Amino acid sequence: MRANGLFGSRASRRRFLAGAGAAGLGAGGLLLAGCGDDEAPVATSTAPEGGASPGSSPTVPPEADIPKDGILRLRQTAPWSSINPWKGLDSGLTWGFYVFDHLFYTPLDTLKPELFLATSLEQPEPTRIIFKLGEGYFHDKPPVNGCRVTARDVKASYETSIKQPGVSTTTFMTQVFAGIEVPDDETVIVKLNAPDARAFTSTALGGVITSSIIPEEICAQPEFMDRDIIGSGRFVFEGHEGGTNFRLRRFEKWRIPGEPWLAGMRWFLIQEQAQALAAFSAQDIDTVGLANVLERDQLVQRHGKDIEIDSDISRSVWVVLTRADGRWADPRVRRAVNLAIDRDEIIEIMTFGEGLKSGIMPPAFASVSLSEQELAETLWKFDPTQAKQLLAQAGFDTSQPIEIKVAALGDNYSKFAQAIAAQLEKNLGVKTNIVTEDFGTWLQKSLYGSEYKDLIVFPTLAYDEPSQYLRPYEKEIGGRPNWARFFDDELNQMIAKSRTIMDEEERFEALKEIQRKAIEKVAPAFPIYVPRTFAAYWYWVKGRVTGRGSFGLFNGRLYIDKRR
């Protein structure tokens, strides 16, 4: 609700996960976003687009009237290297939404857990959470052959997934989560090492990949999932072609009778955005993520009322990260860089004006972000003259070019790097050079390993949980030293303390204080902007629901109805 309050109803119609990557990747559409797994600060480009969500669609006809033979056709932006959900973020999230069931999930709008397979949730004390399981069955394939989901499956799923090298577990899961007890087949007791405000968020017990319920037998031999995926979710995994063109069909024994309303889903590999748009226009796919307003305007012009556009403000923040050591140790140098960035021009270039300046918390988190006025006077200030003066005062050697590292992940990555480079050259009078790296090296070595010389630029994931945006200001990020080598005890303590504050209002105030402190200390991660994301749907894709973060993807009431 908070998120919705900021924008008009149209603007707040949130297309599934709000596409962290969506806009970020230019290719439009990826899921990635809200799952907020601690470790991945940026989206990978390979996830297919998710379907729309159901729910808040205003006029749903009586169920008997709904055609249930529709197949939703989606675009996949790149082949996956593995279909195993424990070996990739793309597969993990996609199967997490469609093929696996979960105990519960916490939507972004209410931030309160909603029950899925669980029929009750109790927290008798802060470190003990008790779930009662409802009736659910696995898909009818060997080796489980449609047997009932038990508490042991849940235990095995949580406990095995966090040990997988390919699964990004969070500090919550590695440090606070103490294990699961199963007194009987229908009871799951989660034990925690300490009280924690984040327990039910997507960074904790609600993480899409971590909480996916996978049969116990398969947890014992995860390689099984290299070949086949068996869950207890709404859709049954039917097949794929070498990591592309996935096919799902309705699970007839899904725990909600009559759902899902789709007979199946199909993904088609279309790597080029241009081709994806053409495919959408030719009605070969039902929905497509749009990279910008130009694409939106063109589609609307071409198809008029035959298509509908969902729009959303992303929670994926484009960031410029300097170092905090070497010639960047002087806060004046870092401030100069921030002062030399003209955010309005960046927004104009990156989004054709359809974006918003972002504070440390993106504008979608209105209750915890600083006011626009406050930010305009501090973080967002653009003043090339002062920037140059600061550089001169700090004795910065401007003859040395500034190196900007960026991942080779898509148009927008290099476009952003180019825009920042051009502004720094113009406004600071320095030379720049852009270094592109493949995503693996960039993420593991350059960002996590701090192997960058001057600047590194990227979009964050679109988190469902606000405190995730504070990670670049901590001394340790997921067990590794701060990427920028920015070690500030005061900020670090403030962040640690905020996690233990269980009172919501008090916690939000603490989060705002942290942001003020980070700006005051010229912490090296400078948030620049958030894009607006667009997705086009043919009119027959009905039952879409938006505004609830990734929650909208757990939707059984999306359907295809070509009647007008």
Partner 1 sequence: MATAAESLRSFDTVPRERPRLVRLARLARQHPTGVFGLVVIAGFVVLGIFGPAIAPYDPRELRTGGVLEGPSRAHPFGTNALGQDVLSRVIAGARISLIISFSAVFIGGSIGSFLGIVSGYYGRWVDYLIQRSGEAWAAFPSIVFYFMLITAFGQGVKTIIIAIAIGALFGGSRVLRGATMVEARSTYVEAARALGASEARIFFRHVLPNVLPLTVVLMSTSLGGAILAESALAFLGIGVEPGTPSWGIDMSGENLTVARLGYWHVVVFPGLAISLVVLGANLLGDALRDIWDPRLRR
Partner 2 sequence: MRQYALRRLAYLPLIAALVSVITFFTLRMPWAGDPVTYMSTQNTTVEDQERLRKELGLDKPVAVQFGLWLGDVLRGDFGETFRGRQPVLDEVMRRFPATLEIMVLSLGFTVLFGVTFGVVSAVRQDSFADYGLRVFAVFGQSVPDFFLLILLIVLPSIWWNYSHPIGGHVSIFEDPIRNLRLYVPPTLLLAVGGSALMMRVTRSAMLEVLRQDYMRTARAKGLGAYAVIVRHGLRNALIPIITLAGNHLVALFFGAVILEQVFSINGLGQFFLTSAAQRDFPVMQFLVLYSALVVMGLNLVVDLSYALIDPRIKYS
SS3 content of the chain, % helix, strand, coil (to 5): 35, 20, 45
Q: Where are the alpha helices (DSSP H) in 88-193?
A: 89-98, 151-161, 171
297 makes contact with partner 2 (CB under 8 A): no
CA torsion sign for 157, 162, 165, 170 is positive
421 makes contact with partner 1 (CB under 8 A): yes
Tokens matching residue 204:
């904790």
* Smallest separation, CB 109 to partner 2 (Å): 29
Q: Kindly tell me which residue out of 67, 68, 71, 82 binds partner 2, with binding defined by CB under 8 A.
A: 82
Which window, 148-156, 193-201, 267-275, 505-513, contacts partner 1 (CB under 8 A)? 267-275
Site for partner 1 in 436-495 (CB under 8 A): 436
536 makes contact with partner 2 (CB under 8 A): no
352 makes contact with partner 1 (CB under 8 A): yes
d(CA 90, CA 168): 12
Nearer of residues 158 and 452 to partner 1, judged by Cβ: 452
Nearer of residues 163 and 497 to partner 2, judged by Cβ: 163
Contact partner at residue 448 from partner 2, partner 1, none, CB < 5 to 8 Å by partner kind: partner 2
Nearer of residues 155 and 453 to partner 1, judged by Cβ: 453
**Residue 350 exposed, middle or buried by CB count within 10 Å (0-12, 13-18, 19+):** buried
78 makes contact with partner 2 (CB under 8 A): yes
Q: What's the distance, Cα to Cα, between the start and end of the chain in Å? A: 31
d(CA 258, CA 436): 49
Q: Kindly tell me which residue out of 178, 294, 329, 502 binds partner 1, with binding defined by CB under 8 A.
A: 294
Q: Kindly tell me which residue out of 147, 309, 349, 370 binds partner 1, with binding defined by CB under 8 A.
A: 349
Q: Print the binding letters for residues 306-345 with partner 2: x by CB under 8 A, - otherwise.
A: ----------------------------------------
Contact 191, 159 (CB under 8 A): no
Nearer of residues 18 and 406 to partner 1, judged by Cβ: 406
If you write DSSP's letter for every residue of 482-515 in order, what string do you get? -TT----HHHHHHHHHHHH--SHHHHHHHHHHHH
Q: Which residue has the tokens 């909600």?
A: 256
User: Beta strands 118-125 and 128-133: pairing type?
Assistant: antiparallel
In order of 252, 488, 491, 515, the CA distances from 520 in angstroms are: 57, 12, 11, 9
Which window, 38-46, 196-204, 210-218, 309-317, contacts partner 2 (CB under 8 A)? 38-46
d(CA 83, CA 182): 30
Site for partner 2 in 383-422 (CB under 8 A): none
187 makes contact with partner 2 (CB under 8 A): no
Site for partner 2 in 232-271 (CB under 8 A): 241-245, 268-271
What residues make contact with partner 1 under the rule CB under 8 A? 26, 272-275, 277-278, 291, 294-295, 298, 345, 348-349, 352, 406, 408, 410-412, 414-415, 417-419, 421-423, 425-426, 433-436
